Every structure is written in structure tokens, then in C-alpha cells.
Amino acid sequence: MNSEAKPKKPHHHGDLRRALITSSMTLLAKGGSAALTLRRAAAAAGVSHAAPTHHFGNLDGLRSAVATEGFLLFCDAMERHVQAAEPAPRARLRGLCMGYLEFALSHPSLLDLMFREERSFDKDAALLAASTEAYQALARTAAPFVSAAHPARVTEAQIWSFIHGYAVLRTSRRFGQQAEDPSGDAAAILSLLDRLELAPSSQKPDAPL
């Protein structure tokens, strides 16, 4: 067949579910959301056109599975950047945003799939879990900016809205020129978050964002 590294082959293919998700992400990356079809994913995995039904039910099930995989990568990108940043809250927040942006620029169609209006988290527990984990990464990094005057939900929504909007508009090329380098304009734009106040409890020496 093709790419099996598992010790045991469950049935026919090996790990078709995994293979379909992988081929789907390739299709998505190469041809945008319109290129992700059940039949093409099946063909790329070397199985018949109806094989994906058994694993995902229908097209939206496949899309949800791909979105779940996307949230894992997304979460990883954010956490990597946060870890690599200086320990100061603002530096960590900037890192989170840069991770967000890096993911968006690297996987624009995947980001779109993950945040489409019709994507329903109620139907897919794994999707809900993965997206919740991503939200937690943001919430953790936002925590030092939470205070009585600025509740967690509000602060989180502010940060999320801002970086999400910027990421989406950039991937849609809605801003004029934009070098492929996220550190260019991004730093200036993201300076809006400099204006978030640190909570009194976490008042330590902290460089501006």
C-alpha cells in the first residue's frame, strides 16, 4: 500500500483514517477548500471513492476531522512561540500572537476550515476538545492581564478577536502590501495589545509588547 508505520495492520488498508486526513490536508494546502473532496481524498489514499464514508460518515465529518488535526497544529504553533518567548507576560502574549499568525500564513485554507461558520463543535467531541485546548493556550497567556476591572472572558475575547481578525484579513490579502515576513508589519499592528493593563497581582518588570 503506501505509508504504514504501525506494527499491526488492523484490516485492509492499515490506517486509512489517518491516511485520509493526511491526503486531505495536502489537497487543502495545494488547492484550497474547493479541492478537498471525498473522492479525491480517497483517490490520493489509494482507496475507492466510498471508503471515507465508513470513517467519517460524510464530507462534513471529514472536514471536522481535518479541522481537529488543524487545531492540534494550531495549538502547537502557539505554544511553541510562547515557550520560545521571554517569560514576561507581554512577551509571551506577543509570542502567542506570532504563533497564531505563523499558523494562519502557513495554512490559510486550514484556518478557514477550522473557523467556518457551519463548523459545529457539538457533533464532534474530538474537535471540541482540540479547539478547547487551543482556547486554553490563549487563556493561559492572557491570564496576567485579567483583573476585576477586566474579566477573563472579556480580556480573552479582546485578544482573540484582535489576533484572529488580523490573521484572517492577512491571509485574505486585505491589507495592501505585505511581505511574507510576519515580523514586519505585525509588530506595529500588534502594538495595540501593549495597551492592555497588567493585573496588579502580576506587576513585575515587563518590557512593552
Task: Work out whether 59 is an interface residue with DNA (CB under 7 A).
Answer: yes
Instruction: Please give the Cα distance from 83 to 180 (Å, whole number).
Output: 23
Instruction: Please give the Cα distance from 138 to 97 (Å, whole number).
Output: 9
Task: Work out whether 130 is an interface residue with DNA (CB under 7 A).
Answer: no
Choice between 40 and 150, CB closer to DNA: 40
Task: Work out whether 80 is an interface residue with DNA (CB under 7 A).
Answer: no
Task: Work out whether 67 is an interface residue with DNA (CB under 7 A).
Answer: no
- Contact between residue 47 and residue 16 where contact means Cβ atoms under 8 Å apart: yes
Q: Which of 42, 166, 182, 209 is in the footprint of a second copy by CB under 8 A? A: 166
- CA pseudo-torsion sign 107, 108, 110, 115: positive
Scanning 35-43, 81-89, 130-138, 169-177 for contacts with DNA by CB under 7 A, the matching segment is 35-43
Choice between 64 and 171, CB closer to DNA: 64
Q: Which of 37, 106, 132, 147 is in the footprint of DNA by CB under 7 A? A: 37
Chain residues binding DNA by CB under 7 A are 1-2, 4, 8-14, 16-17, 37-40, 42, 47-51, 53-55, 58-60
What residue ranges bind a second copy (CB under 8 A)?
32-34, 108-109, 112, 115-119, 151, 153-154, 157-158, 160-166, 168-169, 171-172, 174-176, 185, 188-189, 191-192, 195-196
